[in-house]
Amino acid sequence: MGHGIAQVAAQVGKYEVNMRDVEQRFIDGGMSMIRDSLQRFVKKAQLSEAEMNAILARIHPMLGLKEAVSNADLIIEAIPENLELKKTTFKEVDGYAPPHAIIASNTSSVSITEMASATKRPEKVCGMHFFNPPQLMKLVEVIRGARTSDETVETVLNIAHKMEKETVVVKKDSPGFIVNRILIPALNEAVALHWEGVADKEDIDKAIKLGLNWPMGPLMLLDYIGLDTTLAIADVLTKELDPKFHPTTGLKQMVKAQMLGRKTGKGFYDWTQK
């Protein structure tokens, strides 16, 4: 998600973007995917070569966290759905970022309030949840923590609109926010249908596409989201809200087998061939 958000910020918002990761290979991979994405826009005559090069020039890849955030106005965290890792990162960022900077999380389920508690600026912390792939998906959920200020919410909404996103405001910091609280049970049931042998994956996806008018079937969508990410969200919903969100055995088994979807080349579908 991180490289996609960086691309949208630079391409559509025309912001200067520091893109930071913990290893050079991740940064190189992110920049490669951004170039590939921009080249597709060029091939479709939606961007010129000059515009593509200008966008790339606005993205500054780096390894140093202090360097990345010390001159930032908005920091968007897009690391794995691990609360303790996120809190550690937020504490570090809080120490390096300028006092006026907003710290936003792209989390799809983790408590904004709890992440904000790791900082000395909880009023400047909120959720800014993009959807995958950020280059194409129009929605951003903006989530209030318990102490998020109105000014922070307004600023983040304005930035999302400058990136040409549609926004919804989640007024209470509730696990799963809006979309995932509704989506995860549906995806979980699709996995259960497949795991129980009720129908083939193609027919499950076809049924939901044609029966509910989804643009993509639930099992293919799981491959795009990542089965590990889906499991992490389901675990949070189960723990924080209700046992009814408990992930199905099939989902847990596929994650154990590292059949995570596109990111590993194999999930419900085979992604090793282009």
Query: What is the tens place of the pLDDT at every residue in 163-207?
Result: 999 999 999 999 899 999 999 999 999 999 999 999 999 999 999
Write out the catalytic residue numbers.
108, 129, 141, 180
Percent of the chain residues topping a pLDDT of 70: 100
Residue pLDDT, tens place only, 128-172: 999 988 998 999 999 999 999 999 999 999 999 999 999 999 999
Across residues 103-111, what is the average pLDDT?
92
**What's the pLDDT at 133?**
86
Domain boundaries, the chain: 2-170, 179-264
Residue 273, φ and ψ in degrees, nearest 5: -100, 135
Instruction: Among 1.10.10.350, 3.40.30.10, 1.10.1040.10, 3.40.190.10, name the CATH number for the domain at 179-264.
Output: 1.10.1040.10
> Average pLDDT of the chain?
95
pLDDT in tens, 73-96: 999 999 988 889 999 999 999 999
Are the beta carbons of 134 and 5 closer than 8 angstroms? Answer: yes
Compute the C-alpha angle 37/53/45, nearest 5°.
Answer: 55
Q: How confident is the model at residue 274 (pLDDT cuts 50, 70, 90)?
A: low
Find all residues with CB under 8 Å of 15, minimum gap 6, and list them.
Answer: 9, 58
Q: Left if phi > 0, otherwise alpha if psi is -120 to 50, otherwise beta: which for 218?
A: alpha
CATH architecture of 2-170: 3-Layer(aba) Sandwich (3.40)
Angle formed at CA 256 by CA 250 and CA 259, multiple of 5 degrees: 75
The pTM (predicted TM-score) of the whole model is 0.88
